[in-house]
Amino acid sequence: MRAPHRAPLLAPALVSVLAVGLFGAAPLWAGEMTLPTLYTLHCSGCHGEAGHGVPASGVPDLHDAGSYVVLPAGRSYLVSVPGLAQSSLDDATAARILNYILRRFSADRLPADFAPYTTAEVTRLRTDVASDAETRRRRILSDLKAAGLLPRDYTAP
């Protein structure tokens, strides 16, 4: 039974390689650079570095998300998606990263009077997982179409 002894030796080595790789190029102004790094770490694995997701596999393109915030159900849906709600991010960071991805990928869809998500709002909405994300998403998209906020022939990715 020698093999299992290798894992504990490898793990710290891997952690330090990752830490150097990810944080080695530490930004001078952390406030500006932390969000892109957080996105890369927590979100890009599924949504891709450019935010286009893999629609064919059910991972949405984040460029659409800005439209959702017009509706209360859409606004709350964005907080409740598993990648955010069930992540290890604290509520303040989750709010910041959500505001960040909306502005980075979907600024052209955000309403002019968009009020950024607050920590308190994320705390309140994060646990709201009454129905599954896919069902809620479809309902919101059809409400957006009904309200003329999405083209009627828009097909959800």
d(CA 92, CA 98): 10
Please list the residues that pair with 59 across neighbouring strands: 54
Is residue 69 near ligand HEC by the rule CB under 6 A? no
Is residue 74 near ligand HEC by the rule CB under 6 A? no
Is residue 63 near ligand HEC by the rule CB under 6 A? no
Is residue 133 near ligand HEC by the rule CB under 6 A? yes
Is residue 36 near ligand HEC by the rule CB under 6 A? no
Instruction: Report, in Å, the least distance between residue 52 CB and ligand HEC.
Output: 11
Instruction: Report, in Å, the least distance between residue 151 CB and ligand HEC.
Output: 15
Which residues sit at the interface with ligand HEC, rule CB under 6 A? 42-43, 45-47, 58-60, 62, 64-65, 78, 81-84, 87, 97-98, 101, 133-134, 137
